[in-house]
Amino acid sequence: MDIVVEHVRKTFGSGDKSEVLALDDVSHRFGSQKITCLLGPSGCGKSTLIQIIGGIEDATSGRIRIEDPARSGGTTKLGAESVMMWQGLNLFPWRSVIDNVAFGPQMHGVGKAQRYARATELLASVGLRGFEQHMPAQLSGGMRQRVALARALIMERPIMLMDEPFGALDAQTKIVMQEELLRIFDRTKKTILFVTHAIEEAILLGDEVLVMTARPGRIKEIIKVDLPRPRGLDILGSPEFAALFDRAFHLIRDEVTRAMREQEEAVRA
């Protein structure tokens, strides 16, 4: 599934001084079977864009279409083809691990034997075999994030919208989760939109990195990441990775510097 974003603008508040222009004229085609990373400084509208694509927020103007490149003309309702995953885990603390993972199918009326079988399979695939009956509070942060991943995967949607899902994890756990995601991507080839403010993460995961400007958010530059797949963390040491990192780093540094200067000027005015 492709996500086609055309001239999307988003303002919060209306008409008065509190009005915030969060996104200004964002257009992009997020291609099928690719990981596209949205990279930009805090407050540049990354979460706003991913929530509009997921059908949680409305755009103020512009259009978004979900297109199956294999079938011309067919478009679907926003949110229907995607599943969202973010940093706040929103697991149900009173449900066991397996009942958290099986929640979506349960809501869709799938019988217990069938949803448990699928949840068990997915838990094994994210390295949590044997933890089915544990409660979320008995797990580490990294394990809880794996439960959240399994719960997203069980929905079998072609699009995954991930908003800094690993942002709260410690550095070691983050590395393991990034590898897990790369493995899952190689196996399932979903369309993944991955929001991050970490340059290294964006390049490690992405086929394409959209560098955003500081507020209002626009796409400043698209960095194509031609590093081979399947990828592992060993690419972090390659000269190709270093060159891409350097390019993204300079773009981001310019943006942050500009935003800070503008804030200073606004305070002085």
Ligand X SMILES: Nc1ncnc2c1ncn2[C@@H]1O[C@H](COP(=O)(O)OP(=O)(O)O)[C@@H](O)[C@H]1O
What are the residues binding ligand X (CB under 6 A)? Answer: 12, 20, 22, 40, 42-48, 215
Closer of 58 and 264 to Mg ion (Cβ): 58
Q: Apex CA 63: angle with CA 58 and CA 67, to 5°?
A: 110
**Which amino acid is located at 48 in the chain?**
T
Closer of 136 and 217 to ligand X (Cβ): 217
Closer of 47 and 100 to Mg ion (Cβ): 47
CA distances (Å), 150 to each of 91, 101, 156, 263, in order? 11, 6, 10, 41
Supply the minimum distance, in Å, between the C-beta of residue 47 and ligand X: 3
Supply the minimum distance, in Å, between the C-beta of residue 230 and ligand X: 29
Supply the minimum distance, in Å, between the C-beta of residue 42 and ligand X: 4
Supply the minimum distance, in Å, between the C-beta of residue 85 and ligand X: 15
Contact residues toward Mg ion (CB under 5 A) are 47
Supply the minimum distance, in Å, between the C-beta of residue 23 and ligand X: 8
CA distances (Å), 244 to each of 18, 25, 91, 199, 249, in order? 38, 26, 36, 9, 8
Q: Which does 78 bind (CB under 5 to 8 A by kind): Mg ion, ligand X, none?
A: none
Closer of 57 and 68 to ligand X (Cβ): 57
Q: Which residue number has the CB closest to Mg ion?
A: 47
Q: Which does 42 bind (CB under 5 to 8 A by kind): ligand X, Mg ion, none?
A: ligand X
Q: Which two tokens stand for residue 250?
A: 């300079």
Q: Which does 257 bind (CB under 5 to 8 A by kind): ligand X, Mg ion, none?
A: none
What backbone phi and psi angles, to 5 degrees, belong to 13? 75, 170
Q: Which does 55 bind (CB under 5 to 8 A by kind): ligand X, Mg ion, none?
A: none
Closer of 49 and 177 to ligand X (Cβ): 49
Q: How far apart are CA 48 and CA 197, in angstroms?
A: 14
Q: How far apart are CA 223 and CA 49, in angstroms?
A: 19
